[in-house]
């Protein structure tokens, strides 16, 4: 039985990957069980409980070279998921994101190179964030990738992106893998650095790689205690307690939501699918859903009495819209999302209700409030009023 190392394998995506392949491969997980994701007692977390009997678990850190070498022993394939993932948090904890995302990846590659390991393939979980605002169409200049939005525009409640050439109106387009890469958050820069590290080093070691640019991944198992990623978790906690929701910007900002099981399926397929070798592949639904639609859907499914308020507040580093062109995934992996947004939300909310025991979600609200204070203190969260 061939052996797979999954860094960050006890996380949200990793646990679903393990569910799919633990009977076919010998799996070793390297994970530091960050309290931000797993809570203060990781042994009790939903994610750890899901994987503990399906693989070998090494409690270690990709930042520690010796931990990485231990995890690499006799490995044939690598799925590199370990990363810090909070867009907003990355803007004021740059050293942390550099250490985990960049140094962690360099440790992995260096360990392979110096020990002349025979790795059949490396799969990297990258992010749609490397595109920045993504692709748009300007009537005058054609296909463009806008730069970061102007703060003065946003303070005036003008949240739409502008053509980088003429500052005129642009129309949203599906972003292809050939789009210009224009990260606008520090997290995005670290993910692009990971991509470039594989692009440079894997050919020198004769190791095929596949880089997946995941869109907004959601589903059962998503951390309900991490306030830095995932509006679904944040909204869910507030709605279940009938607390009001503050919608940033004008509520029309949108994201491409893709179910975690679909992400796990295409990732596992790439292990031995040679068509995906040395490819960059978007993984999304190919549809965009507005944040206000997300909030209203969750409110209905939770039967909540919360009030949804649109404040005009905004975060530096956030994008306006997100929609992926998934034709490459369809061509190379016969990929087809298996969940509609409504179906996925029904499953997600049912799972969340089952986790809301002992006021766990209420206790985690303190972390959310702290995250807002952190962002305000560093100027990364701009409040239009107050």
Residue 299 pLDDT > 80: yes
Secondary structure in 3-state letters for the chain: CCEEEEECCCCHHHHHHHHHHCCCCEEEEEECCCHHHHCCCHHHCHHHHHHCCCCEEEECCCCCHHHHHHHHCCCCEEEECCCCCCHHHHCCCHHHHHHHHHHHHHHHHHHHHHCCCCCCEEEEEEEHHHHCCCCEEECCCEEECCCCCCHHHHHCCCCCCCCCCCCCCEEECCECCCCCCCCCCHHHHHHHHHHHHHHHHHHHCCCCEEEEEECEEECCCCCCCCCCCCHHHHHHHHHHCCCCEEECCCCCCEECEEEHHHHHHHHHHCCCCHHHCCEEEEECCCCCEEHHHHHHHHHHHHCCCCCEEECCCEECCCCCCCCECCHHHHHHHCCCCCCCHHHHHHHHHHHHHHHCCCCHHHHHHHHHHHHHHHHHHCCCEECCCC
pLDDT at site 47: 87
pLDDT tens-digit readout, 121-166: 999 999 999 999 999 999 999 999 999 999 999 999 999 999 999 9
pLDDT mean across residues, the chain: 94
For residues 66 and 225, the model is more confident at 66
pLDDT at site 365: 58
Percent of the chain with pLDDT over 90: 84
pLDDT tens-digit readout, 182-211: 999 999 999 999 999 999 999 999 999 999
pLDDT tens-digit readout, 78-127: 999 999 998 889 999 999 999 999 999 999 999 999 999 999 999 999 99
Catalytic (active-site) positions: 187
Residue spans per domain, the chain: 3-135+174-382
Class of domain 3-135+174-382: alpha beta
For residues 219 and 361, the model is more confident at 219
Q: Are residues 31 and 10 in contact, defined by beta-carbon separation less than 8 angstroms? A: yes
Residue 363 pLDDT > 70: no
pLDDT at site 375: 86
Residue 358 pLDDT > 50: no
pLDDT tens-digit readout, 7-57: 999 999 999 999 999 999 999 999 999 888 877 888 888 889 999 999 999
Residue 312 pLDDT > 60: yes
Residue 386 pLDDT > 70: no
pLDDT at site 362: 59
For residues 271 and 361, the model is more confident at 271
Residue 357 pLDDT > 60: no
Residue 253 pLDDT > 70: yes
């Amino acid at each position: 039985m061939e052996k797979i190392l999954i860094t960050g394998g006890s996380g949200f995506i990793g646990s679903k990957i393990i569910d799919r392949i633990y009977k076919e491969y010998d799996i070793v997980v390297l994970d530091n069980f960050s309290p931000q994701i797993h809570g203060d007692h990781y042994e009790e977390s939903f994610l750890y409980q899901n994987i503990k009997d399906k693989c070998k678990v090494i409690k270690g850190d990709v930042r520690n070279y010796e931990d990485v070498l231990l995890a690499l022993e006799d490995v044939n394939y690598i799925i590199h998921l370990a990363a810090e993932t909070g867009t907003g948090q990355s803007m004021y904890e740059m050293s942390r994101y550099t250490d985990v995302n960049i140094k962690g990846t360099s440790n992995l590659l260096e360990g392979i190179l110096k020990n002349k390991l025979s790795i059949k393939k490396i799969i990297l979980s990258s992010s749609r964030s490397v595109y920045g605002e993504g692709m748009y169409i300007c009537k005058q200049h054609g296909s463009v990738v806008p730069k970061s939005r102007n703060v003065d525009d946003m303070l005036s409640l003008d949240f739409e992106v502008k053509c980088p050439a003429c500052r005129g109106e642009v129309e949203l387009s599906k972003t292809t893998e050939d789009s210009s890469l224009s990260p606008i958050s520090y997290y995005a820069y670290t993910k692009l650095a990971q991509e470039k590290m594989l692009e440079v080093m894997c050919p020198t070691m004769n190791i095929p790689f596949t880089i997946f640019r995941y869109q907004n991944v959601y589903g059962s198992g998503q951390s309900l205690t991490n306030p830095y990623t995932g509006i679904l978790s944040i909204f869910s906690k507030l709605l279940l307690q009938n607390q009001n929701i503050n919608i940033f910007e004008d509520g029309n900002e949108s994201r491409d939501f893709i179910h975690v099981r679909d992400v796990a399926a295409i990732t596992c397929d790439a292990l031995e699918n040679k068509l995906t070798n040395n490819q960059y592949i978007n993984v999304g639904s190919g549809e965009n859903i507005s944040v206000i639609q997300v909030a209203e859907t969750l409110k209905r499914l939770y039967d909540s009495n919360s009030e949804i308020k649109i404040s005009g507040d905004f975060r530096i580093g956030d994008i306006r819209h997100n929609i992926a062109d998934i034709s490459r995934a369809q061509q190379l992996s016969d990929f087809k999302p298996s969940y509609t947004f409504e179906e996925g939300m029904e499953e997600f909310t049912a799972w969340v209700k089952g986790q809301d025991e002992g006021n766990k979600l209420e206790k985690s609200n303190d972390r959310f409030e702290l995250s807002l204070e952190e962002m305000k203190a560093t100027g990364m969260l701009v409040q239009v009023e107050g």
